[in-house]
Amino acid sequence: MMAPLYGLVAAAQLLSLASFAIALPNGPIRRDAAFAAAKDQSYDYVIVGGGLTGLVVANRLSEDKSTSVLVIENGYIDDKPITSIPYMASMLNVADMWPILSAPDPGLNNTVWDVRVGNVVGGGSVVNGMQWDRGADADYDAWEELGNEGWGFDGLAKYFKKSTHFTPPSRSTVKQFGITYDESAYGNGPAQVTISSFQYPDMKPIFDSWKAENLPMPQEGFADPVGIYWTPNSVDNKTATRSHARKTYYDPVSSRSNLKLLTGTKATEILFDGKGKSLKAKGVKITSRADGSTGQVTAKREVILAAGGVLTPHILMVSGIGPKDVLDAAKVPVKRDTPGVGSNFQDHVPLYMSFNLSNVAFPNPTTPTTNATFNASAAAQYEKERQGPYTFGRGNALAMLPFQQVSSNWKSITKKISQQADPTKYLPARYAKNKALLAGYKKQREVLINLYSSNVSTLGEFPVQPWGRAAVAHQKPLSRGTITLNTTDPSAAPVLTYNTLQNPIDKAVIAELVRFNRKHWARPELSQYKPVELVPGAQYKTDNEIINAAIAQLQINPSFAHPSCSAAMLPEELGGVVDSELKVYGVGRLRIVDASIIPLIPSTHLQATMYAVAEKAADIIKGV
């Protein structure tokens, strides 16, 4: 869970700005030899960001030995235990994240939040919670419906398989816990996923309590992600270690002479040739974190942005591609007025409900931190056999439910969407001033009304875990965030304003998710635990009471660590930034392949989707 930073807002922002700047090491300055060798060189493709999508695309493009690829990554290679031991995925690896704070969020009492973005080779795949799932087919079909030919589920299905390989847990665990799966939903790809053979005993009664709900329980969530199902983690079953993009897509091909990875290097600006209609990306300005030296690299074919949902809009804007008013305010010369950059920002919105449970089994997920003897033996078992509690991440099951299965009020709440005659009242100010952005939002609303009303697309996530932490997460918010520039120092951290709950319908949806979860925890199948609601607290009953209490408790978070949609793939007349070949409108030789291109956030944790998107992007770039 993310820690909010409240109070001292101004001081916190200053801190963020200071640490976002390139920090030089103390002591004698080490000359960055790799940087010196790579700068001033030309490559066919220059990829900005060696995170999840950047490394997938780098691997695939460099399969052709005659194609040279440079990946520029601000972070370093990190193999500390926190990056690899599954148990440690429950701890936040902030050392491998960018030091970015959000702008005060008006919908959450102006609180400021840590923005979770990986800053390490492998990006988010190294620091994430390892949950592995995908959205419903209808969620990707929605991308196509919004004007992106080939991006429906049929166009993505083969890439979900191409990227992934699943190994089942042990037979005894399958039998004991009633785990179901279907290996044919996965392929033989580099990303390794598995369900831990170690499950805490309370998982069985808690998972079984969902059977009593009489809701869909697909055998395999990666084939049919609607209902209650078991989910793998991005863990390699052979080594019981995290399977992340560096280990799976970069390390095995790092010896290719046509592939170069430059770590500890920040891309500070995209360089262009020409202007107006003949504007073309020609390379990137770079700065070494080791010695502060600067340089530039040239892209003979294309610059490919893979800096993620928060930092891709930032580098576009500092380079002069973005909304004119934002660039003017920061005194960045406008190369192209593209209002969609930093607009349409989306993330899932969790409310971290929790229950105090009695009669919990031993061991349970708190045991490693509360019982030193247990922890020592778990660590030794992991060290010796790669088995036991340290192979367990954050959990292996989800309830992903359509609105109509969560709430009897689904129709009346969904109806309110179309009753919002003037959606600009519930959107950032820029939507009232820009026809394309507004048209795009209205089109999204039409699609969302169908998805809210559908029983094959989901709106509420309820992670099924063997303890009383029982979050709910709104999967299809109507509110939209923005990313802009710091006007006094555009190169400082971007200004991310989440605008959480700006649309009141989002509050109504979250309150319904809370009520559903309460009903679930009151089921007779769970009575042995005598659950007592701690967050937000059973005394809060109306929508306003529930939402206001959770905001005051800092338990509604603006982000589920899925920042996305901020340089959306949409027709330009709908506010898009890239077309369906991921080419940036109005700029030659520039594409985006990361989470910022998603037009409408799907109901799922994002990593499996981003592996598939990146695999598809690579084929598009190669012209396959």
Ligand X SMILES: Cc1cc2nc3c(=O)[nH]c(=O)nc-3n(C[C@H](O)[C@H](O)[C@H](O)COP(=O)(O)OP(=O)(O)OC[C@H]3O[C@@H](n4cnc5c(N)ncnc54)[C@H](O)[C@@H]3O)c2cc1C
Residue 341: closest CA among 436, 222, 239 = 436
* 178 DSSP assignment: T
From 21-29, 271-279, 521-529, 600-608, span contacting ligand X (CB under 6 A): 600-608
503 binds ligand X (CB under 6 A): no
Calpha distance 365→175 (Å, rounded): 21
Question: How many residues of this chain bind ligand X (CB under 6 A)?
Answer: 41
For ligand X, the closer CB: 526 or 595: 595
311 binds ligand X (CB under 6 A): yes
From 250-258, 270-278, 409-417, 604-612, span contacting ligand X (CB under 6 A): 604-612
Q: How far is the CB of 32 from ligand X (least distance, A)?
A: 14
Interhelix angle 607-622/153-163, nearest 10 degrees: 100
Calpha distance 134→137 (Å, rounded): 9
User: Is 120 assigned a ligand-binding role in the annotation?
Assistant: yes
Angle CA 166–172–174, to nearest 5: 45
Binds ligand X by CB under 6 A, chosen from 308, 320, 365, 460? 308
For ligand X, the closer CB: 346 or 407: 346
Angle CA 117–444–588, to nearest 5: 65
Contacts of 383 by beta carbon, 8 Å cutoff, 6+ apart: none
48 binds ligand X (CB under 6 A): yes
Calpha distance 84→80 (Å, rounded): 7
Binds ligand X by CB under 6 A, chosen from 107, 129, 339, 340? 129
Residue 577: closest CA among 303, 317, 266 = 317
SS (H, E, C) 242-296: ECCHHHHHHHHHCCCCCEEEECCEEEEEEEEECCHHHCEEEEEEEEECCCCCEEE
Segments of 306-439 assigned E as strands: 321-322, 336-337, 349-351, 354-356, 397-401
Binds ligand X by CB under 6 A, chosen from 5, 13, 46, 51? 51
List the interface residues with ligand X, window 523-562 (CB under 6 A): 561-562
262 binds ligand X (CB under 6 A): no
Calpha distance 377→375 (Å, rounded): 5
Task: Give me the 459-488 binding string for ligand X, x by CB under 6 A, dash otherwise.
Answer: ------------------------------
For ligand X, the closer CB: 140 or 426: 140
46 binds ligand X (CB under 6 A): no
597 binds ligand X (CB under 6 A): no
Calpha distance 465→179 (Å, rounded): 14
From 199-207, 224-232, 309-317, 338-346, span contacting ligand X (CB under 6 A): 309-317
* 89 DSSP assignment: G
Task: Give me the 173-192 binding string for ligand X, x by CB under 6 A, dash otherwise.
Answer: --------------------
* 128 DSSP assignment: S
Alpha helices, DSSP H only, in 191-240? 203-211
127 binds ligand X (CB under 6 A): yes
DSSP code per residue over 565-611: -TT-BS-GGGT-SB-TT-BBTT-BTEEE-SGGG-SS--SS-SHHHHH
* 71 DSSP assignment: E
For ligand X, the closer CB: 94 or 432: 94
595 binds ligand X (CB under 6 A): yes
Q: How far is the CB of 210 from ligand X (least distance, A)?
A: 20
Calpha distance 623→582 (Å, rounded): 12
566 binds ligand X (CB under 6 A): no
Calpha distance 277→273 (Å, rounded): 11
260 binds ligand X (CB under 6 A): no
500 binds ligand X (CB under 6 A): no
Instruction: Write out the two tokens for 551.
Output: 């905001």
Active site residue 348: no
From 5-13, 47-55, 166-174, 368-376, span contacting ligand X (CB under 6 A): 47-55
Binds ligand X by CB under 6 A, chosen from 4, 49, 313, 342? 49
List the interface residues with ligand X, window 69-88 (CB under 6 A): 72-75
Q: Which residue is nearest to ligand X (CB)?
A: 51
For ligand X, the closer CB: 116 or 520: 116
Contacts of 33 by beta carbon, 8 Å cutoff, 6+ apart: none
Q: How far is the CB of 203 from ligand X (least distance, A)?
A: 18
Which H or E element spans position 12? helix 9-20
Q: How far is the CB of 17 from ligand X (least distance, A)?
A: 15
Given the residues 165, 314, 474, 605, select the one marked as catalytic.
605
Active site residue 605: yes
Q: How far is the CB of 55 from ligand X (least distance, A)?
A: 8
203 binds ligand X (CB under 6 A): no
Residue 310: closest CA among 102, 465, 138, 113 = 102
Q: How far is the CB of 37 from ligand X (least distance, A)?
A: 17
Binds ligand X by CB under 6 A, chosen from 594, 600, 602, 616? 594
From 52-60, 338-346, 514-522, 535-543, span contacting ligand X (CB under 6 A): 52-60
From 117-125, 201-209, 376-384, 494-502, span contacting ligand X (CB under 6 A): 117-125
Burial 320-347 (b: 16+ CB within 10 A, else e): bbbbebbbeebebeebbbbbbbbbbbbb
Given the residues 244, 314, 520, 562, select the one marked as catalytic.
562
568 binds ligand X (CB under 6 A): no
Token pair 């959450």 in the structure block, residue: 108
For ligand X, the closer CB: 74 or 580: 74
Binding site for ligand X (CB under 6 A): 48-54, 72-75, 116-120, 123-125, 127-131, 266-267, 306-309, 311, 315, 561-562, 594-595, 605-608, 610
Give the residue numbers of the binding site for FAD: 120
Give the residue numbers of the binding site: 120
Please give the positions annotated as active site: 562, 605
